[in-house]
Structure 1
Amino acid sequence: MVDVSQHELVPEHVLIDDPDEIQAILDEYDVRKTDLPKIKRTDPATPDDAEVGDVVKIIRDSRTTDQAVVYRLVLS
């Protein structure tokens, strides 16, 4: 079976464990955790240790900036 998360076209997905870092992100964008875009726990790119309610940082290559960072809330 192919590990989709290791494919060259799948951006890096990083689980954010630090509650202070999550709060800093929410404060920076002036949103609540539930306002973040969602990602399903069953998405093949979601980190294996992600649980419902966790926040995942997705780092994509960008043509206009070196990297584009987005955040997703893990749902069931």
Structure 2
Amino acid sequence: MVDVSQHELVPEHTVLDEADVEEVLEDYDIERTELPKIRRKDPALPDDAELGDVVQIVRDSRTTDKAVVYRLVIE
């Protein structure tokens, strides 16, 4: 079986700890439930991602070099 998360085109996914989550939510002045969602079954998610976790995704970008987005893990 192929591990999709290791493919070169899949951006880096990192589960944030609670301190980092609080900082992100404060920076954007939002609640956790207002974050865009990602399903737990998404093959790009790290194995340690659990429901309710916030995942940081770092993508390559032509305009800003790196684009950072956040997703809430849902069922």
Q: TM-score range by the shorter chain?
A: over 0.9
Give the equivalent residue in structure 2 for 1:36.
35
Inter-partner Cα distance in structure 2 for 1:20 and 1:5: 25
Q: Percent same amino acid at aligned positions?
A: 67
Give the equivalent residue in structure 1 for 2:51.
52
Give the equivalent residue in structure 2 for 1:5.
5
Q: Deviations over 1:14-56 (max 9, x none)?
A: 0112x12111100101110000000000000011011100000
- Secondary structure class of the residue paired with 2:50: coil
Give the equivalent residue in structure 2 for 1:25.
24
Inter-partner Cα distance in structure 2 for 1:10 and 1:20: 26
How far is 1:74 from its partner? Answer: 0.2
Give the equivalent residue in structure 1 for 2:73.
74
Q: How many residues align?
A: 75
- Give runs of ≥4 in structure 1 deviating > 3 Å: none
> What TM-score, normalized to structure 1?
0.95
In structure 1, runs of 5+ residues without a counterpart are: none
> What TM-score, normalized to structure 2?
0.97
Inter-partner Cα distance in structure 1 for 2:21 and 2:12: 18
Q: CA RMSD in A?
A: 0.6
How far is 1:6 from its partner? Answer: 0.7
